[in-house]
Amino acid sequence: MRRLFVLAGLAAVPLAVLGVFFLLPISGMLAEGLWADGTFDPGAVLEVLARPRVQRVIWFTVWSSVLATACAVLLGVPAAHLLHRRRFRGRAALRALLLVPFVLPTVVVGVAFRELIGEAGPLGFLGFDGSAGAIVAGLVFFNVAVVIRAVGAAWESLDTRPAEAAASLGASPAHVFRTVTLPALRPAIVSAASVVFLFCATAFGVVLTLGGLRYSSVETEIYLLTTNLLDLQAAAALSIVQLLAITALLVVTTRLRSVPDPTLARSVARHPRVSRGDWPGLLATSVVVVLVGLPIAALVTGSLQVGDHWSLENYRALTTEGSRQALLVPVTQALVTSLRTAVDATWMSLSLGLLIAVIVSRRSRTRAERRARGLLDGLFMLPLGVSAVTLGFGFLITLDEPPLDFRDSLLLVPIAQALVALPLVVRTLAPVLGGIDDRQRQAAASLGAGPLRTFVTVDLPVMWKPLLAAAGFAFAVSLGEFGATSFLARDDNPTMPIVIFHLIGHPGAMNYGMALAASVVLAATTAVVMLLVERLRVPSVGAF
Amino acid sequence: MRSVRVCVPLVALALAATACSTIGESSGSEEPEDGATPTEVVLVTHESFVLPKKLVKQFEEESGFDLEVRAAGDAGVLTNKLVLTQDNPLGDVAFGVDNTFASRALAEGVFAPYDATLPEGAEQYLLPGDGEDGEARALTPVDNASVCVNVDDTWFAEQDLAAPTSLDDLVDPAYEGLFVTPGAATSSPGMAFLLATIGAYGEDGWQDYWSELMDNDTLLTDGWSDAYQVDFTQGGGKGDRPIVLSYDSSPAFTIADDGTSTTSALLDTCFRQVEYAGVLEGAANPAGAEALVDFLLSPDVQAALPESMYVFPVDASVELPAEWAEFAEQPTEPITVDPEAIAEGRDDWLRDWSDITSR
């Protein structure tokens, strides 16, 4: 019983945050739909689901997300091996580069992709524009970094000795991977895949831009129903479908993630150099680099051109307010706002995420305790699977009265971004925490260490790298977040994606060039921050 | 010792975090006590709203109120936000509800009556149905921009082909595969173009027109920026379609080195979007709200509209920027659809449109 109370105590803060900033707004919007005209009418909601268009939308969302997730995992796992277990020059830079798509505003990526695959683009002959294939490629572009980083973080410190033992007993590399490495990585892979699936299923801009309007997903449909038609009943129906689907997904992944013995021996051995046996990793990494690199290259080239000649003019213009004062603040100032907001979002999601990861990864003694931990685990994944526009409108109608009068709060943007990043943080930390042998903590405790000291000496050394990875994720998510931010942002301090969206949405060659240049600056900033974060060395890790 | 060393970077990070955080900055919006005189006006608007700082200061000095701008979302998001929060409004005054969404807001009673004195020539932009039948007027027109088909004149000159001039021309096989437009479901200019076709061909005729348009290999994109910047031959990228849906003001932004515009707007294909301002029902500071509506109609703001928001003023006496005066021609008789009919038909029209275009 006491353990359950401790559990409840630890969970209180994250639960309160989630309750106020997620559950309350979402219920508010669902209620608007279910109680249309003041009467409870769930039948009308069910009728919405019978519409052929709605069924087509749901089906498309499911298959495109499954396909994109599968591709991201198939490419991401071998690439994670190369990028996190092999030593070569430029590794850190490459890792940082692959995270860049994560922060690029979708509207810019859409433009960059379409410059390549559109009718007039260099890859236009493929006829890819507006096809489902383009959507899947776009989704993989955005999400493969999640797999690489989450799996890589778990793989990096994986003890190599069991695999070596298996190999010395005559197992082929494939056999070793299947029987030794893969089971050890399974929690991380399943975690990453479930997050990627949720990202894909709720992707918004990619589907719109690359789908050429022939395809709609549940997310784009909810947006249309809510913002354009004000058909809250239908929007509520689709939101309920989203919630049910996430719940089902969580049940399945919890099963898949649980392994008989999650405890792993960890070692931080010096990684070997790249050898011929690494061809799967090399191949996957090359594909990923091409997929990520081409649109980024298109973006950089575009940003360096004014008319038909090369110029840095677009970059110089970033310190101004646009050629016709179309912007209230220079882009450079928006970058500062973005960075400051990202710092807030990062510490918020890291502190909440760490608490949650600790809670869900500790071993349970009773069935009730395990249930409670499982439920909490799932609850914090929900923000990923629910439409940003539903949440945004929910904020406005539920957080408008004291003591919860947050509608105009400057904190709303970082909080919303932190909620989006939270599942990523938890998913990066929890598998590693779960892999720590509880006996180490018991040993520390029996030697007289308090809970904090135990955490610092046992958990933290192993956690350090995944914590950095998680911080990087949260930071990147915040820098690039557009949906919720555009809904909440205040005019006097716009973030970079908002400014870029503003620039690209107006005619004039200068505005277009500045939008591309600003995107490159945002991407470069992210890459630099990622590199710096990775460079932070912790002396005790090597000694552990 | 080891744990100390672990803590150093953590503390450093924490320090960095507090130095860079946005927390602690005052938002500058102190809620006035009940009964006290309000000191600020809160303007709720869409993300395209830009008012030069100089003018904000001017308003604050003239009216004595601080101006707080909350800009987010597009016109549709803005309207629905106002509808959903009408019991506890987001501010005192709203700007940016346009004639395609206005009747929804009026029907829901979002706006309080305010009969602002209109500048010269602004009468024609009043929302049909608003303030008629002896009721007080609620919405004040502030700016307008027409959505028109634009053509790349240099491209047509090079190809020795006459540029199209009407909606009918767009389904002519001579122009097959040359037109790109944002879709009606996802873009506000796209919706305006659908309304133009509904106004031109009638509520029963536009479906056939769109079928022919799609048969003529029209390209649909999700938003204006994709159509104009990526696919249009005179956009920011290197597109290959010389006919695009854009605005009547767009030719003012494609001026070549020789001082002439490379594009022109087809004035028989236009649907006019008018943006309105209105005092919100239940506003905490109705006097400030009315002052702001008046200010938006003042010559200074009207003159700043083209450069800051890419729209035409409603005040006919205001002087336009030089490029605008020369190259941005407004349609004299834009295609119209009754706002009430839009409110009623939007849902069905969009559904039919989606079916036709995704076939």
ipTM at complex level: 0.77
A-chain CB neighbours of B228 within 8 Å are 507
Chain A, window 92-111: residues with a beta carbon less than 8 angstroms from a chain B beta carbon: 107, 110-111
CA angle A445, A451, A453 (to 5 degrees): 85
Chain B positions in Cβ-Cβ contact with residue A513 (cut-off 8 Å): 236
| Reported CATH class of domain B40-144+274-323 | alpha beta
Q: Quick check: B222 contacting A, CB < 8 Å?
A: yes
**Domain A2-260+286-297+306-543 CATH (choose: 3.40.50.720, 3.90.470.20, 1.10.3720.10, 1.10.760.10):** 1.10.3720.10
- DSSP, collapsed to helix, strand or coil, labels residue B66 as strand
Chain A residue with Cα closest to B67: A492
The CA distance from B71 to the nearest CA of chain A, in Å, is 5
Among the partner residues B49, B221, B229, nearest to A212 by beta-carbon distance: B221
Q: A325 in helix, strand or coil?
A: coil
- Contact by Cβ (8 Å): B306, B144: no
Q: Is B85 on the interface with A (CB under 8 A)?
A: yes
Instruction: Report the alpha-carbon distance of residue A181 to residue A163 in Å, rounded.
Output: 7
Contacts B223 to A, Cβ<8 Å: 107, 208-209, 505
Closest CA of chain A from B16, distance in Å: 9
The structure tokens 């659809």 sit at B337
Is B236's CB within 8 Å of A107's CB? no
Mutation pick from A29, A123, A213, A401 vs chain B, by most beta carbons of B within 10 Å, is A213
Burial class (CB in 10 A: 0-12, 13-18, 19+), B221: buried
Q: Is the pLDDT score of B34 beyond 60?
A: no
Pairwise CB contact (< 8 Å): B27 & A327: no
Ordered by start, the domain boundaries in chain A are 2-260+286-297+306-543
Helix (H) or strand (E) holding B45: strand B40-45
Dihedral (Cα; B203, B205, B208, B210), 10-degree rounding: -50
Does residue A308 belong to the interface with chain B, where contact is any CB pair within 8 Å?
A: no
CB contact under 8 A, B238 and A120: yes
Q: Cβ A343–B16 below 8 Å, yes or no?
A: yes
From chain B, the residues in CB contact with A320 under 8 A are none
- The Cα B211–Cα B230 span in angstroms is 24
Residues B351, B319: Cα–Cα separation, whole Å: 42
User: CB-based burial of residue A320 (10 Å sphere; 0-12 exposed, 13-18 middle, 19+ buried)?
Assistant: middle
Strand B312-313 and strand B140-152: the pairing is antiparallel
d(CA A211, CA A225): 18
Is B86's Cβ below 8 Å from some Cβ in A? no
Chain A contact for B84 (CB, 8 A cutoff): yes
Q: With contact defined as beta carbons under 8 Å apart, do B276 and B93 qualify?
A: no
A107 → closest Cβ in B225, B236, B351: B225
| C-alpha–C-alpha distance, residues A424 and A431, integer Å | 12
Contacts 24+ apart (CB under 8 A), A81-84: A81/A155, A81/A278, A81/A280, A81/A281, A82/A274, A82/A278, A82/A281, A82/A282, A82/A284, A82/A285, A83/A148, A83/A152, A83/A281, A83/A285, A84/A148, A84/A151, A84/A152, A84/A153, A84/A155, A84/A156
| Residues A507 and A321 sit within 8 Å (Cβ to Cβ) | no
User: How many contacts (CB atoms, under 8 Å) link A and B?
Assistant: 204
**Closest among A20, A40, A272 to A160, alpha carbons compared:** A272
Q: How far is A166 from chain B (nearest CA, A)?
A: 35
Q: Which residues of A touch B7 (CB under 8 A)?
A: 456
* Calpha distance B6→A540 (Å, rounded): 7
> CA-CA distance, A420 to A382, in Å (whole number)?
9
**Which residue, among B1, B3, B233, would best test binding to A if mutated, counting the most A CBs under 10 Å from its CB?**
B3
The answer to whether domain B40-144+274-323 and domain B145-271+333-357 are alike in fold is yes
Tokens of A390: 């539903």
Q: Is B23 on the interface with A (CB under 8 A)?
A: yes
Q: What is the pLDDT of residues B286-323, one digit of tens each?
A: 999 999 999 999 999 999 999 888 899 999 999 999 98
A508 shares contact with chain B (CB less than 8 Å): yes
Q: Which amino acid is at A420?
A: V
Q: Which residue of A has its CA nearest to B17?
A: A343
Query: What's the pTM?
Result: 0.81
- Are A213 and B230 an interchain contact pair (Cβ–Cβ within 8 Å)? no
DSSP β-ladder status, B66-71 and B40-45: parallel
Cβ contacts of A487 on chain B, cutoff 8 Å: 72-73, 77
Q: What is the pLDDT of residues A380-416, one digit of tens each?
A: 888 878 887 888 888 888 888 777 777 777 788 888 8
**A 440-469 near B (Cβ less than 8 A):** 453, 456-457, 460-461, 464
Q: Does residue B46 sit at the A interface (CB-CB below 8 Å)? A: no
From the list B22, B222, B236, the residue facing A512 with the nearest CB is: B236
Beta pairing, strands B179-182 & B243-247: parallel
Chain A neighbors of B49, CB-CB under 8 A:
491
Considering only residues 229 to 258 of chain A, which have any Cβ-Cβ distance to chain B shorter than 8 Å? 229-231
Are A453 and B3 an interchain contact pair (Cβ–Cβ within 8 Å)? Answer: yes
B240 — contact with chain A (CB < 8 Å)? yes
Cβ <8 Å between B80 and A211: no
> What's the pLDDT score for residue B247?
94
Q: Which helix (H) or strand (E) holds A337?
A: helix A331-361
CA distances from B335 to A514, B181, B273, B348, B357 (A): 35, 18, 11, 20, 22
Under 8 Å between Cβ of A424 and A473: yes
**Is the Cβ of B188 closer than 8 Å to some Cβ of chain A?**
no
Which CATH class, in words, describes the domain spanning B145-271+333-357?
Answer: alpha beta
Higher pLDDT, A372 or B88: B88
**B35 SS3 class:** coil
| pLDDT the model gives residue A478 | 87
CA distance A383 to chain B (A): 21
Task: Tell me the CA distances in angstroms from A371 to A118, A252, A356, A368, one per residue in order.
Answer: 50, 15, 15, 5
Would you call A486 and B47 a contact, using CB atoms and an 8 Å cutoff?
yes
pLDDT tens-digit profile, chain A (544 residues): 677 777 778 888 889 989 998 999 999 988 888 887 777 877 877 888 888 888 888 999 999 999 999 999 999 999 999 988 888 888 888 888 887 887 677 767 777 787 788 777 788 777 777 788 888 988 998 889 889 988 887 787 777 788 888 889 988 888 888 888 888 888 889 888 988 998 888 887 777 777 767 778 888 888 888 888 888 888 888 998 888 888 888 888 877 776 655 555 566 667 788 888 888 889 999 999 998 888 888 888 888 888 778 888 888 888 876 655 566 678 888 888 889 999 999 999 999 998 888 888 777 778 888 778 778 878 888 887 888 788 888 888 888 877 777 777 778 888 888 988 888 888 778 877 877 777 888 888 898 888 888 888 888 877 777 788 788 878 888 888 877 777 776 666 788 888 888 787 777 777 888 888 988 888 888 888 777 776 664 433 322 2
Look at the block and give the residue holding tokens 């649907």.
B271
Distance CA B51, CA B311 (A): 13
Q: Mark A491-503 as b/e (b = at least 16 C-beta within 10 Å).
A: bbbbbbbbbbbbb
Closest by Cβ to A407, choosing from B52, B90, B247: B90
Q: Which residue of A has its CA nearest to B347?
A: A229
Chain-chain contact of A513 with B236 (C-beta, under 8 angstroms): yes
Of B203, B198, B191, nearest to B167 by C-alpha is B198
What is the domain partition of chain B in residue ranges? 40-144+274-323, 145-271+333-357
Find out whether A78 and A284 touch, Cβ atoms under 8 Å. yes
